[in-house]
A and B are shown apart, each in its own frame.
Chain A
């Protein structure tokens, strides 16, 4: 009787483990095929996954982040005096610019009224903080704490105080993933401020620079030229700073992005008004 019970229990256990393994493997293939075929389900899985995993990993890795930040702060303190001097000079310089800017803003307003022109100002949808940054061989992206609940959806431009950061690629209720402009798969239509030529830039393999993927009329820029968004793609509003040309080759050029991707704290999700 006892041996019969044992045999039944062992058979049940074997069946259960067989079913369990089969379910996991079937689920693996289903997830992979959904990712390739069913956009809705794949996106739902990604959103839920990121929403669940993100806070947990953030808490677990927070000691390392805190230690890194303390180290960085200590390092900054070492150079405080020198930086203070530099900042004082910068303040004097900026005050002059501020006076000029106030004057120009007033003039601009008057000219716009005279020309009856429409404003190309941008609308800020949400200011969000960066909760996760993924910089690896596959993708350069950040996760921000703003999602569908804050009217942040896919394909919106993301900027910070220095310039263009990227665009939103997926949005869940609370979070959104932003593909940075230094990613190889990103594509930003830009305009050269000096000669108004148009081109498209994307990230380089190491994520440090931007490289031209297409140049309209093959008009190469000069080293030092400034690149701003052209506004040709509906995602990015026009005239947002993108980068500065640092190297011009025979049929392409390299630019350095204005945004420091290593220090992304807060960003703004925007759209054209």
Chain B
């Protein structure tokens, strides 16, 4: 019963994931902010999936999206792939402790995880490939994440409830 209930929303989240991934990698040059917003929402969504819909096939999904983001955003393989794979392993080890948390705390944890993941990606890309750490860009992403994450979280909660 529970599995069938989650199965449908899992598919919806995956459709959303591919849409946001496409918008992230296919930039609209006239509105670069759209690109950053989609990048931020994509991260939030992938964390949400990892925490609420953890299953083994997510490793493959994380692997493919990590590789895809690396190929399109950096043209090198590494930062997103390694961050995504390790993040999912960490979610697996910790998500049993999240059941006791309240909704707001879970939201804050998701937001913090998202910002930390983006920060890690930037650090890894700096260490591995020498991309300079752009603080203003990071702050922009963090700010957009804060603005967009709560409405997105509410929408996701609604999707979970309805489907």
Contacts and interface: CB of A to CB of B under 8 A. Distances in A.
Nearest to A264: B29
Nearest to A169: B75
Nearest to B74: A138
B56 to A, nearest CB: 5
Contact of A134 (B22, B34, B72, B132): B72
Interface string A27-44: 110011011100000100
A246 interface: no
Contacts of B18: 60
B73 interface: yes
B71 A49 contact: yes
Interface residues of B, number: 45
Contacts of B30: 68, 72, 262-263
Interface stretch (B42-50, B76-84, B96-104): B76-84
Given A61-B22, A205-B134, A262-B30, A139 B78 contact: no
Interface string B62-97: 010011100111111110011001000000000000
Nearest to A71: B30
B21 interface: yes
A267 to B, nearest CB: 13
Nearest to B137: A137
A170 B77 contact: no
Interface in A7-35: 17, 20-21, 24-25, 27-28, 31-32, 34-35
B35 A25 contact: no
Nearest to B39: A136
A28 B63 contact: yes
What 6 A-B pairs have minimum CB-CB distances, sorted nearest first?
A60-B22, A57-B22, A137-B137, A35-B77, A61-B26, A61-B22
26 contacts: A17-B56, A25-B85, A27-B63, A28-B66, A36-B128, A46-B71, A57-B21, A57-B25, A57-B26, A60-B23, A64-B23, A65-B28, A68-B28, A132-B26, A133-B27, A134-B73, A135-B27, A135-B35, A136-B73, A137-B131, A184-B131, A184-B132, A205-B132, A261-B29, A263-B29, A263-B30
